[in-house]
Structure 1
Amino acid sequence: MRSYVTKMAGVTTLPPREEREAALAEAGYNVFNLDSENVFVDLLTDSGTGTMSDAQWAAMLEGDEAYAGSDSFDRLQAAVQDVMGFEQVVPTHQGRGAENVLYGTLVSEGDHVLNNTHFDTTRAHVAANGGVAVDCPVDSAESADEGNSFDGNFSVERAREHVDDVGADAVPVVVLTITNNSNAGQPVSVENTRAVREFADEIDATFVIDACRFAENAYFVREREGRSPSDGASDEAPSREPGYEDASIQAIAREQLGLADAVVMSGKKDGIANIGGFAAMRDPDLFEHCKQRAILYEGFPTYGGMAGRDLAALAVGLREAVELPYLEHRIGQVRELAGLLRDAEIPIVEPVGGHAVYVDAGAFFPAIPSTEFPGQALVCELYREGGVRAVELGSFAFPDTDRPEYVRLALPRRTYHREHIEHVAETVEAVFERRDEVSGYEIVDEPPIEELRHFSARLEPVAE
């Protein structure tokens, strides 16, 4: 069992309730607008908020800051080749930079992009290039033969129905997001990835994997793929038919990613870095086009908007992310929080995914309609009650998409301890006990890009 020794400590304090109330109102009841010093436990995102290892810090001291031909880029390229199996790498400042580079090259006006479930920035990049983002998630019935173990899967049946409506020529790109962040962080099976590969070949589309949490997904494949339908949603290791249980995380990751034509990666997730990302691809022509777009938006192709020291840290982080003991600890913390919430009878999405616990805010606040954003009401109450910052991933973040009313409690990597997890659970339980007293919210000011409104919109409580 892995544990960690603290070599550097930061201080977090819980502001008094009246200060939290004032800060929340000043932020327009949008926790993205809160100063971090006013947050006690920050579960807004696991993106770039984790704690780097001593090996990563040591690599940073050797960072090569050359504008062109940086040795740090060579180290990152080698790590991507070894861990993920892609030789052609275009570094970017973070994942959305990689989306801009790749989707800006592949997507044109009127194109339809199919995804198991688009996340916010992915959807926005498709729209910004004139495309239409189409979600093709499976429902529980479609994954029942796998014991609901891979609810993040891509529904090829839905995708084919959409292609029948619009024509194959209108679908140049098919995307598979692993794990499926917008669908409660649920994993995607290798079998489903093969099916998506075959579907992309049928319609002559480029198959892209959004690999932000590829290592966590490989952990679930190792644990679950091949289990019998009777295993259900238990978080415990099930009995199963032979599968990937004896394979290394790296081997599983390479097999799954090896089915794609290209990947987009935020190094701030399973790169365990505070900044950085990349796009990687197999086709030399696509690589050249992406490099030229990267020069325009990100920087020279051997630094891509990152300092050499950040390239070096990401190279080490990718290798650490596929270590089984690291993933056991990482996903173990998420399951620990889920267990505490389950014991308190909080409605959470199960089985639990890899990077977060998702609370079903619609079930939490059944009296608050989706038009009044029950998820955002829960986010505000968690901060008001215990200084916990979470994020809404429902009707506020994804307008006009008919998404479930989820609130994500995303755990940063190697950052918080048992007492923090207990505080979060106690905070959620305290809000649950007074849930009948909570009202919804309305938007009073929002930005012009609807797909990104949750980052900066301002709200007010609905007048009673």
Structure 2
Amino acid sequence: MLPKRDSWAEPYKIKMVELLKMTTPEQRKKALTEAGYNTFLLKSEDVYIDLLTDSGTSAMSDEQWSGMMRGDEAYAGSKNYYNLENAVSEVYGYQYLVPTHQGRGAENILSQIMIKPGDIVPGNMYFTTTRLHQELSGGIFHDVIIDEAHDPESEYQFKGNIDLNKVEKLVQEYGVEKIPYICVAVTVNLAGGQPVSMQNLKELRKYTEEKGIKIMLDMTRIAENAYFIQQHEEGYRLKTIAEIVKEICSYTDGATFSGKKDALVNIGGFLALNDWDKFEEARNLVVVYEGLHTYGGLAGRDMEAMAIGIYESVQDAHMKARIGQVIYLGNKMKEFGIPIVKPIGGHGIFVDAKQFLPHISQDDFPAQTLAAEIYLDAGIRTMERGIVSAGRKATGENYYPKLELVRFTIPRRVYTQAHMDVIAESTARVYERRNDIKGLKMVYEPKYLRFFQAKFEKL
């Protein structure tokens, strides 16, 4: 009798390949030095396996490429806009759509129409661009995620959950009139791709309805969050990803969306709303910042590909394979004793740089250092998610996040299981020589979102 297995396999076959450049250690050292030890500043051609981000790096399907050929590039009223509008309504349930060039375009417009100077914006852990847009509009971000999210060793399944006691404390201190909305991310990127439970969303919705507070969703990886609910939350095992996604959205008042993640496209996003008056404000502003309200900075072909990708993203077989590949890499990392954020999240593996390099202080950028060392070993590009990403307070002081992580982000439908083996083995080699690794010092720091362009030198 065969053993019972629950293996994942890709629900597609490969029709085309892109050849990769193989580099020598000397070439990688030169490239990294020229990039100031910042993996964002490396040239793509110098990278073997690119795990910098899953944003805009996925492989599109034959249906999406076919859709690109059906692009209606009319300046106003493109048929692709209406196809996208129908997809958002059918899959997510929102009434009104404002397309944007990507997610941060939606964040900018949402912040401008909802936030006044001095407002308090609670959220389940900050995200870099989201918090910056809130701050540029005069808002003050407050983290209301549960404490388990800041503990990489905690095995709690839904570490993205909102702590309602923290929300109530803010309401008591500032009053509901100072809280324009609560920002809920699914999944939570900087916590390690950790999901939010449906029960937590239901409880938050009940609370906010009583208080008269809006819930705005960062739904960039909502299908991944739905998978974790399906697998781990009571009462959802027999529901489809599509059904769970729509239920998540039903407990919110609107959402920002980067189509470059779940929707499997290279560019695109939107702001979705249920309030007509806010929609009117948003579609007026999108003309100023992005483009006409029926294209929002996107070509018709990009809107068509995103509409198709939305439907593909909620297919159960696709999501099982997508998360399955991440879990496979995470388990390989654990076999080698590499400290990672637990439980394994949705869009990548997050290595705990504090545990990996305990001899390097946070002021010497351990996660930035580790990302550089991983590139040097085998040409694998990852990214820092720690003190560099956290940035500075208005006073000029550094934020010191509890989590100091290196993110191994897996693009969708791009790499094979063999690539995952190479990644784990390379990281294990770096782990073996961890005690010889020295930290970095920052020699250039831009004003905003420093992790994109900062430069470093070895200590």
Q: Which amino acid aligns with 1:222?
A: Q
Deviation, structure 1 residue 441: 1.1
- Classify the secondary structure of the residue corresponding to 1:427: helix
* Pairing partner for 2:128 from 105, 120, 124: 120
Cα distance in 2 between the residues matched to 1:456 and 1:289: 33
Do the aligned residues in 1 keep the contact of 2:287 with 2:296 (CA within 8 Å)? yes
Amino acid corresponding to residue 237 of structure 2 in structure 1: E
**Residue 25 and residue 142 in structure 1: after superposition, are their counterparts in 2 closer, same or farther (change >3 A)?**
closer
Q: Is the 8 A contact 1:138 1:154 kept in 2?
A: yes
Identify the residue that residue 164 of structure 1 maps to in structure 2: 172
In structure 1, runs of 5+ residues without a counterpart are: 227-242
Q: Partners in 2 of 1:303 and 1:330 — Cα distance?
A: 30
Residue 108 (structure 1) shift: 1.7
Q: Which residue of 2 aligns with 1:219?
A: 227
The alignment of Structure 1 onto Structure 2 pairs a total of residues equal to 442
Distance 1:336 1:165, change over 3 A: same
- Aligned mate of 1:32, from 9, 32, 40: 40
Q: 1:398-413 to 2 correspondence within 5 Å?
A: 398-399=390-391, 400-413=399-412
Distance 1:70 1:258 in 2: 28
Equivalent residue runs for 1:103-142 within 5 Å: 103-140=111-148
The residue matched to 1:103 in structure 2 has which SS?
Answer: helix
* In structure 2, C-alpha distance between the alignment counterparts of 1:142 and 1:349, rounded to whole Å: 10
State the SS of the aligned residue for 1:140. Answer: helix
Q: Residues of 2 paired with 1:297 and 1:272: CA distance?
A: 24
Which residue of structure 1 aligns with residue 418 of structure 2?
Answer: 419
Matched, 1:433 2:432: yes
Residue 301 (structure 2) pairs with residue 309 (structure 1): yes
Q: Give TM-score scaled by structure 2 length.
A: 0.94
Letter in 1 for 2:371: V
Is 1:457 matched with 2:449? no
Once the two structures are superposed, what CA deviation does each residue of 1:46-79 show, in whole Å capped at 9, x if it has no partner?
Answer: 0000000000000111111111111001110111
Q: Distance in 2 between matches of 1:173 and 1:57?
A: 38
Deviation by residue 1:123-175 (Cα, 9 ceiling, x = unmatched): 111111111111111123999xx971101111111121122222222211211
Deviations 1:202-247 (A, max 9, x none): 4322210100000011111111112xxxxxxxxxxxxxxxx10111
In structure 2, the partner of 1:205 is 213
Identity of aligned residues (%): 42
Code of the aligned partner of 2:413:
R
Aligned to 2:156: 148
1:14 aligns with 2:22: yes
Aligned residue among 94, 100, 103 for 2:108: 100
Report if aligned partners of 2:99, 2:296 keep a CA contact under 8 Å in 1. yes
Is 1:445 paired with 2:444? yes
Partners of 2:259 and 2:231 lie apart in 1 by 24
Contact in 2 for aligned 1:443/1:457 (Cα 8 Å): yes
How many angstroms apart in 2 are the aligned matches of 1:168 and 1:281?
A: 21
Q: Residue type matched to 1:281 in 2?
A: L
Instruction: Report the secondary structure of 2:387's partner residue.
Output: coil
Deviations 1:19-58 (A, max 9, x none): 1101111111111111000000000000000000000000
Alignment deviations for residues 257-296 of structure 1 (CA, whole Å, 9 cap, x no partner): 1110000000001111110000000000000000001111
Cα distance in 1 for residues equivalent to 2:196 and 2:379 = 33
CA positional deviation for 1:201: 2.6
Structure 1 residues 422 and 322, CA, compared in 2 at 3 Å: closer, same or farther? same
Q: Normalising by structure 1, what TM-score?
A: 0.93
Deviation at 1:91, TM superposition (A): 0.3
One-letter code aligned to 2:177: D
SS at match of 2:390: coil
Aligned pair 1:67/2:59, yes or no?
A: no
Q: 1:150 to 1:202 in 2, by over 3 A?
A: same
2 CA distance for matches of 1:390 and 1:202?
A: 43
| Matched residue SS, 2:292 | coil
Give CA deviations for 1:64-122 in whole Å, capped at 9, x if unaligned. Answer: 11111110011101111111011210000000011111111111211111101121100
Instruction: State the 1:13 CA deviation.
Output: 2.2
Letter in 1 for 2:168: R
Residues 14 and 386, structure 1, Cα contact 8 Å, conserved in 2:
no
Structure 2, unaligned runs of 5 or more: 1-8, 392-398
Q: Distance in 2 between matches of 1:461 and 1:164?
A: 47
- Counterpart residue identity of residue 305, structure 1: G
Matching residue of 1:245: 237
Structure 2 CA distance for aligned equivalents of residues 141 and 338 of structure 1: 18
Shift of 1:253: 0.7
- What CA distance in whole angstroms lies between the structure 2 residues aligned with 1:404 and 1:200? 29
Query: Paired residue for 1:371, among 357, 363, 386?
Result: 363
Partner of 1:294: 286
Q: Does residue 393 in structure 1 map to residue 385 in structure 2?
A: yes
2:155–2:342 Cα contact (<8 Å) kept: no
Residue 454 of structure 2 aligns with an amino acid whose one-letter code is A
Amino acid at match of 1:402: P
Alpha-carbon separation, structure 2, partners of 1:2 and 1:21:
35
- Output one character per residue of 1:167-191: Cα deviation in whole Å (capped at 9) or x when no partner: 2222112110000111110000111
8 Å Cα contact 2:205-2:252 kept in structure 1: yes
